[in-house]
């Protein structure tokens, strides 16, 4: 029971972390919410100046309205430089920057940040994770480190 509470608390925290930009109905449902695609925006928590947008399919109907439906692993990711970028000195080679549950317990969409030092590029990879058997669904976006205005990119690594 305690682990279920912790999981629900983590999902609530992550949901507050992303800002919903908007949703578009893809299929009308007579009873319950419509099926839709929603776009959320989030900033990389360790890299100011990078904003990502992720679109995800959301299941409607009665089960979707009650939060019991398992959303399909259908999503897209786009990340861009939106300000001056300064890499922290302790930036890991890969790190989770966003997570959102897509079913009540066992499925989530995660966005991982990878550092491609050879090409001076941040790589963001969205994956669908099922705790039971995994899922191959993924999407990728890259942010090459570029000067912003008069500011130069600072790599403190």
pLDDT of 68 strictly over 60: no
CB 69 within 8 A of CB 59: yes
The count of other CB atoms within 10 Å of the CB of residue 153 is 16
Specify the pLDDT at position 84: 93
State the number of CA atoms in the 13 A half-sphere of 146 facing the CB: 10
Tens of pLDDT, residue by residue over 84-123, are 998 998 888 899 998 876 555 555 778 999 999 999 999 9
pLDDT band (50, 70, 90) for residue 71 = low
Mean pLDDT of the chain: 77
Give CA separation, 34 vs 30, 100, 112, 133, in Å.
Answer: 8, 20, 30, 28
State the number of CA atoms in the 13 A half-sphere of 55 facing the CB: 9
CB 58 within 8 A of CB 40: no
Annotated domain spans of the chain: 20-147
pLDDT band (50, 70, 90) for residue 4 = very low
């Amino acid at each position: 029971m305690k682990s279920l509470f912790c999981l629900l608390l983590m999902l609530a925290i992550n949901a507050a972390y992303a800002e919903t930009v908007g949703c578009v109905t893809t299929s009308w449902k007579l009873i319950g919410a419509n099926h839709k695609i929603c776009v959320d925006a989030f900033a990389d928590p360790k890299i100011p100046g990078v904003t990502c947008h992720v679109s995800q399919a959301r299941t409607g109907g009665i089960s979707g309205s009650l939060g019991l439906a398992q959303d399909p692993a259908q999503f897209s990711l786009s990340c861009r430089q939106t300000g001056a970028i300064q890499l922290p000195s302790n930036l890991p080679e890969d790190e989770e920057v966003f997570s959102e549950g897509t079913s009540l317990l066992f499925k989530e969409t995660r966005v991982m940040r990878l550092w491609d030092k050879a090409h001076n590029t941040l790589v963001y990879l969205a994956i669908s994770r099922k705790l039971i058997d995994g899922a191959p669904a993924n999407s990728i976006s890259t942010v090459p480190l570029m000067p912003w205005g008069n500011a130069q990119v600072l790599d403190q690594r």
